[in-house]
Amino acid sequence: MDYFINIDLKKHPHPIQYRDRILLTGSCFTEHIGNALAALKFDVLQNPNGILFGPDAVCKSLLSYKDRKLYTEKDLFPLNEVWYSWDHHSRYAHINREEALKLINDSQIQAHDYLKSANWLVITLGSSFSYALTEEAALADTALNSKVANCHRAPASWFRKELLETTAIIEMLNHCIVEIRHLNPDLQIIFTISPVRHIRDGVVENNRSKARLIEAVHQIVSSVENSYYFPAYELVIDVLRDYRFYDIDLVHPNYAATSFVLEKFTDTCIAEESRVLMKEIRQIINARKHRPLQPGTQAHRQFLVQSLEKVNQLQQQYPFLNWTEEIRYFSNYA
């Protein structure tokens, strides 16, 4: 008896290699993928604007990297004694306006430079809902009708909520891809849809929102060269499809679910030789995290020496990997 619906996951025709540079942007589920790849020493840059949910916010951010846009003081606004940008997550907010501006522009410059030479762009879309500023927000020295990427817990009356049409999503994604490929013609793109449920929008509304994203992305993938779809959404919603795989809020996939999705991502999107190297790197990382009961024993010192030898061997084989932290740790304690 089968207990899971089978999804026919085809191997990626041009899988990710360890030497590749990977820019990831979008919803919080993007960071599950990005953090896992970074921990295994892939070259990644994730969410230079912070977490973004809508295709309008994602496209606006990518175009700003392409244009190397630098923000000015007029792009920031004060709320509860903190300076924010409507285009950025609150991780870029600061009580000092100059510091907030520096955080944002340092990230913009880094993202522009990275996008120019990136091999991959992974976009995870979370919601079709868009938010624009109202007249009440304009009273707070913000531009009327401007679209926002993050509401920063400002009063609800400051925003007008809109469910984007599928055609509008397709148009903005197409335009964005054309523009960023002027900067980087060889960029390959992987789209995913976040399995995180936006229950605050309502269950029915969340499903409408996800449906529009799914249809728009499949239209793009079917017509735009070197763009692909990875079914993270379907793996959680249709394969796992059980609240055991959600966190206590019943909205966010838990560790077991994200691990399952990452395993499938690895199997289908990462080259076989890189998967072999991933296993070796994971062994070193686990050794680095090991906490011995008796650190002064000869057995533990031998364990550290062997681990350092393995790191040095891998460094010679793969000089593009950064082993600074591991070499320092094993050298200090060996």
Regarding whether 220 and 289 lie in a shared domain, the answer is no
pLDDT bin (cut points 50, 70, 90) of residue 44 is very high
What does the pLDDT average to over 162-175?
97
84 and 187 inside one domain: yes
Average pLDDT over every residue of 230-256 = 91
What value does the mean pLDDT take over residues 58-76?
96
pLDDT band at 139 (very low <50, low <70, confident <90, very high): low
Residue type, 44: V
The C-alpha R_g of the chain, in whole angstroms, comes to 22
- Asked, for residue 2, whether it belongs to a domain, the answer is no
Would you state the pLDDT for residue 152? 93
Give percent of the chain with pLDDT exceeding 90.
72
Query: Same domain, yes or no, for 188 and 295?
Result: no
pLDDT for the residue numbered 180:
97
Q: Is residue 102 located within the same domain as residue 59?
A: yes
Report the residue count for the chain: 334
CATH (domain of 139): 3.40.50.1110
For Cα atoms 43, 106, 61, give the angle at the middle one, nearest 5 degrees: 75
Which pair of structure tokens corresponds to residue 47? 């969410």
Residue after which a domain boundary falls, among 249, 270, 291: 270
- pLDDT band at residue 4, thresholds of 50, 70 and 90? confident
**CA atoms of 89 and 73, how far apart (whole Å):** 17
Q: Are 23 and 118 in contact (CB under 8 A)?
A: yes
Q: Is 193 found in the same domain as 324?
A: no
State the pLDDT at residue 140: 55
- DSSP-derived pairing of the beta strands 76-79 and 82-85: antiparallel
- As a whole number, mean pLDDT of residues 254-280 equals 93
Dihedral sign, Cα of residue 210, residue 196, residue 106, residue 116: negative
Instruction: Indicate if 247 and 289 belong to the same structural domain.
Output: no
State yes or no: pLDDT of 296 exceeds 70.
yes
Average pLDDT over residues 258-275: 94
Q: Is residue 9 included in any domain, yes or no?
A: no
* 158 in a structural domain: yes
pLDDT classification of 164: cutoffs 50, 70, 90: very high
Determine what percent of the chain falls in helix, strand and coil, rounding each to the nearest 5: 50, 15, 35
Is the pLDDT reported for residue 1 higher than 70?
A: no
Helix (H) or strand (E) holding 124: strand 120-125
Residues 158 and 194 in one domain: yes
Nearest partner of 192 among 60, 76, 31, judged by Cα: 31
Cα of 78 vs its chain's centroid, Å: 27
Verify that 29 and 126 share a domain, yes or no.
Answer: yes
**Which among 30, 44, 15 has a CA at the least distance from the CA of 226?**
15
What is the average pLDDT across 57-65?
97
Give me the pLDDT at residue 113, please.
97
Kindly list the distances between the CA atom of residue 237 and the CA atoms of 1, 55, 190, 191, 271, in Å, as whole numbers in the listed order: 20, 21, 19, 17, 26
**Identity (one letter) of the amino acid at 241?**
R
Residue type, position 244, single letter:
R
What percent of the chain shows pLDDT beyond 70? 96
pLDDT tens for each residue of 84-95: 999 999 999 999
Global model pTM greater than 0.85: yes
- In sequence order, what are the residues at sequence separation of 6 or more whose Cβ sits closer than 8 angstroms to the Cβ of residue 206? 127, 197, 198, 199
Q: What is the pLDDT of residue 302?
A: 87
| Residue at 134: amino acid letter | T
Q: Which domain holds residue 292?
A: 280-333
pLDDT at res. 243: 86
Q: Following DSSP, what letter does each residue of 103-119 receive, concatenated?
A: HHHHHHHHHHHHHHH-S
Quickly state the pLDDT bin for 301 (edges 50, 70, 90).
Answer: confident
Say how many C-beta atoms besides its own lie within 10 A of residue 40's C-beta.
Answer: 19
Q: pLDDT tens for residues 178-232?
A: 999 999 999 999 999 999 998 888 999 999 999 999 999 999 999 999 999 999 9
**How many domains, the chain?**
2
